[in-house]
Amino acid sequence: MLHFRVEGMSRRLSTPDVLELEQRSLTRNYNPLPVVAAKAKGAWVWDVEGKKYLDCLAAYSAVNFGHSNPTLIRAAKRQLGRVTLTSRAFHHDKLGLFAKELADLLSMDMVLPMNSGAEAVESAIKVARAWGYRVKGVQANKATIVVAKDNFHGRTISIVSFSSDESSRKDFGPFTPGFTQVDYGDIEALEKAITDNTVAVLLEPIQGEAGIITPPKGYLKAVRALTKKKNVLMIADEIQSGLGRTGATVQCQNEKVVPDMFILGKALGGGIVPVSAVVGKADVMGVLKPGQHGSTFGGNPLAAAVGLAVVRMLAKGDMQKRSERLGKHLHKRLKKLVGKGVLAVRGVGLWAGIDIDPKLATGREVCEALMAKGVLAKDTHGSTIRLAPPIVVSKKDLDWGIDQLENVLRELSAK
Ligand SMILES: *Cc1c(COP(=O)(O)O)cnc(C)c1O
């Protein structure tokens, strides 16, 4: 029996209460750390018991600009009092501005607004296929898209169809055809995989879920040159790498590469509402005609108002500079941990994948120990932990967080 009344909220739920409720009624498609957030501000999260944690995950980079960012909350509140949903059957006064300023931010022409990241990825795939048939002249239903092994692009059937992660795929078939996998970072393999039917190459500029895997120097540039030569679109999934995380507006800018389409999500909604988008050149995005694609909530007034505030924040450039500056400091300190329980550190900007020596502990065990010390981080692929604090984190708080990681590693080594 549950010993509290949920409906009347007769008392504040404790951590064990919430875990019990979830155990009983929530699908177990996640395995969260046992921390129950009740409040968050900037880079800090408070649990239901009032304990404070430094957020070093930032909701997988969806909270790049900090929890409860005052500028973004103000934009959302103002819009809540005006109009929140019209559907795309009518126009509203925020979407055009959002699209124009987002396209300008990335020196692109057109924006296709969606909600979740996976939806934006699906949308980019549809645009690429339609472009393949209508512009490139690929024979009907023959289009292929080349993707990288160990990719993460979301959870829909079509997207898991081209995942190489067994747990993402097992028992979810039959799968969508039309995708070819190659090793990430291998330009020769990519060249071999491209055929006359290839319409696009879809890549993460840095593979986030795979463990913050950065490709070899010059790889993205080579992909751009190759795709241009072969009349194939280059699609950059910047859902996690984009919007300030790597010290640039998008990671492609750090690599001086301009793809045909950017896919954005996560931080585009400022941690307030789901906002995603495909952003591209008119000759590609223009293939879509009325009735051929859509979303009831995509580009809704609340999403557009928050997205616009995010775009205007990024247009100033301060977030990117801050991420670059703090990122340098973060990586300088993390490098010193190599050999002290850490095998390798990767990443750019305020984004780090840290391979923990498996002899010492699993990534999960390190995250649990960090949580006990007041730092929230997430493991991936067994022994890697990732750090991606909100960009608004202060240098002092960031240093404190790294101190806690050092303490955890030292304590584990002493065992
Ligand atoms: C998170 C993520 C997605 C999926 O976004 P959702 O909003 O969870 O659907 C797609 N691509 C990348 C690179 C991501 O990190």
131-152, pLDDT tens digit by residue?
Answer: 999 999 999 999 999 999 999 9
- List residues near ligand 1 (CB under 6 A): 60, 116-118, 121, 152-154, 204, 208, 237, 239-240, 265-266
Catalytic residue status for 170: no
Are 39 and 45 in contact, with CB atoms under 8 Å apart? yes
Asked if residue 36 and residue 163 are part of one domain, the reply reads no
- Residue 6 CB-density burial (10 A; 0-12 exposed, 13-18 middle, 19+ buried): exposed
**pLDDT attached to residue 5:** 55
Render pLDDT for 76-100 as a digit per residue (tens, 0 to 9).
999 999 999 999 999 999 999 999 9
In the reported structure, the alpha carbon of residue 375 is separated from the centroid of ligand 1 by a whole-number distance in angstroms of 23
* C-alpha neighbours within 13 Å on the C-beta side of residue 82: 15
Domain boundary among the residues 260, 293, 316 is at: 316
As a whole number, mean pLDDT of residues 263-281 equals 98
User: Of 30, 57, 152, 235, which is best to mutate to test ligand 1, by the most ligand atoms within 8 angstroms of its C-beta?
Assistant: 152
How would residue 6 be classed by pLDDT, with cut points 50, 70 and 90?
Answer: low
Catalytic residue status for 237: yes
Asked if residue 145 and residue 239 are part of one domain, the reply reads yes
**pLDDT attached to residue 381:** 84
CATH code for the domain in which residue 199 is found: 3.40.640.10
DSSP state of 205: S
- Residue 139 CB-density burial (10 A; 0-12 exposed, 13-18 middle, 19+ buried): exposed
Asked if residue 328 and residue 260 are part of one domain, the reply reads no
Asked if residue 312 and residue 188 are part of one domain, the reply reads yes
Asked if residue 113 and residue 51 are part of one domain, the reply reads no
CATH code for the domain in which residue 41 is found: 3.90.1150.10
In the reported structure, the alpha carbon of residue 60 is separated from the centroid of ligand 1 by a whole-number distance in angstroms of 9
Ligand 1 atom closest to the Cα of residue 238 is 13
Say yes or no to pLDDT of 299 above 50: yes
User: Of 153, 264, 351, which is best to mutate to test ligand 1, by the most ligand atoms within 8 angstroms of its C-beta?
Assistant: 153
In the reported structure, the alpha carbon of residue 262 is separated from the centroid of ligand 1 by a whole-number distance in angstroms of 13
Sequence-distant (≥ 6) Cβ neighbours of residue 92 within 8 angstroms: 83, 86, 300, 301, 304
Phi, psi (deg, nearest 5) at residue 311:
-60, -45
Q: How far apart are CA 197 and CA 199, in angstroms?
A: 6
How would residue 241 be classed by pLDDT, with cut points 50, 70 and 90?
Answer: very high
User: Of 122, 147, 160, 239, which is best to mutate to test ligand 1, by the most ligand atoms within 8 angstroms of its C-beta?
Assistant: 239
Is the residue at 5 inside a domain?
A: no
**pLDDT attached to residue 2:** 45
As a whole number, mean pLDDT of residues 307-314 equals 98
In the reported structure, the alpha carbon of residue 152 is separated from the centroid of ligand 1 by a whole-number distance in angstroms of 7
Q: How far apart are CA 350 and CA 332, in angstroms?
A: 11
Catalytic residue status for 266: yes
In the reported structure, the alpha carbon of residue 300 is separated from the centroid of ligand 1 by a whole-number distance in angstroms of 20
Asked if residue 324 and residue 261 are part of one domain, the reply reads no
**pLDDT attached to residue 157:** 98
**pLDDT attached to residue 415:** 80
Domain boundary among the residues 289, 316, 343 is at: 316
Ligand 1 atom closest to the Cα of residue 155 is 9
Give the active site residue among 152, 162, 179, 262.
152
Domain boundary among the residues 316, 348, 377 is at: 316
Asked if residue 366 and residue 289 are part of one domain, the reply reads no
Is the residue at 228 inside a domain?
A: yes
Render pLDDT for 26-64 as a digit per residue (tens, 0 to 9).
999 999 999 999 999 999 999 999 999 999 999 999 999
Give the active site residue among 65, 179, 266, 378.
266
Say yes or no to pLDDT of 1 above 50: no
Give the active site residue among 47, 237, 260, 379.
237
Asked if residue 392 and residue 261 are part of one domain, the reply reads no
The mean pLDDT of the chain is: 96
Task: State pTM to two decimals.
Answer: 0.97
Which range of residues forms the domain containing residue 43? 15-61+319-414
Q: How far apart are CA 350 and CA 246, in angstroms?
A: 6
Ligand 1 atom closest to the Cα of residue 116 is 7
Ligand 1 atom closest to the Cα of residue 207 is 13
Is the residue at 7 inside a domain?
A: no
Are 279 and 108 in contact, with CB atoms under 8 Å apart? yes
- CA of residue 59 relative to chain centroid, distance: 9
In the reported structure, the alpha carbon of residue 27 is separated from the centroid of ligand 1 by a whole-number distance in angstroms of 20
Asked if residue 138 and residue 28 are part of one domain, the reply reads no
Asked if residue 42 and residue 78 are part of one domain, the reply reads no
Quote the number of domains for the chain: 2
Give, in order, the Cα–Cα distances in Å from 69 to each of 41, 267, 374. Answer: 8, 12, 21
**pLDDT attached to residue 9:** 54
In the reported structure, the alpha carbon of residue 134 is separated from the centroid of ligand 1 by a whole-number distance in angstroms of 28
Is the residue at 2 inside a domain?
A: no
